[in-house]
Structure 1
């Protein structure tokens, strides 16, 4: 049985690498920061709304959501961010990340279970598990559906 899946890998924070399964990713696009429309009184990790294909796409600072320093506070902030657009049952969400790395084939049989002791409390609920790469580094496997269904979005969905 084939257990390899395609994942999109990207940086989280300064040192960490995360992946999300391609099956929930609709599109990856560059978002010019001035085109993000801020929304007052929102959860701190929600950066605002972006006009995507004529639809309102909520954009989230994935690092802030997962307990890392917010992207928006980084000194080397670029004028365009990469957004990973996730979809589940007609709900869309844009995750802003600093840098995309690659498309990787990973064997889901080699995924290890995420124990809460190993990870920040904020990231644990969104982890499906983790992989260890050839350089012995941990790669977090984020669960797209859990991210889309996170309770912090209930305010506007």
Structure 2
């Protein structure tokens, strides 16, 4: 019998919900935008680096990376944002999100395959699929590995 897996759910844009498997999350922390050290000549969704555990943690505006309006449009520098720290093979990346929601218990066999008609080209490469929750709402299952291995990083990491 398949066991449900734990996922962290959070807002994507204003209306959408996304989940990432807890197995791929190292830590969740609050960061104010003013504490992020900007790096020139980067894509606008790469917010810069943050001092985390005495290491440089790259931070990304996940909304903007996936084609939503940037978080910086709606937040001032003092607002605390939530950062989800992903780890894969010793590589870390922080995803800034609008708001964390909950821990979801989901069955992988209930995940539906992402179809190109449903999702924009900016989000498709980072999707493993999606779940339909109890309220009949879609929850995008983001692929942490695909985000970490996105071509934008290969130049900077």
Superposition TM-score tier, normalisation by shorter sequence: over 0.9
Unaligned regions of 5+ residues in structure 2, if any? Answer: none
Normalised to the residue count of structure 1, the TM-score between the two structures is: 0.96
| Structure 2 CA distance for aligned equivalents of residues 85 and 130 of structure 1 | 21
- Whole-angstrom CA distance in 2 between matches of 1:120 and 1:75: 25
Query: How big is the shift at 1:76?
Result: 7.2
What are the ranges of 5 or more consecutive residues in structure 1 without an aligned counterpart?
Answer: none
Question: Which digits, 9 at most, give the CA deviation of each residue in 1:21-73, with x for residues without a partner?
Answer: 00010000001211100000001110000000000000000000000001011
Q: Which residue of 2 aligns with 1:17?
A: 17
Aligned to 1:108: 108
Deviating beyond 4 angstroms after TM superposition, the runs of 4 or more aligned structure 1 residues are 75-78
Across the aligned residues of Structure 1 and Structure 2, the Cα RMSD in angstroms comes to 1.2
Aligned length: 157
Q: Which residue of 2 aligns with 1:46?
A: 46
Residue 146 (structure 2) aligns with: 146
> Superposed, which structure 2 residues align to 1:83-122 within 5 Å?
83-122=83-122
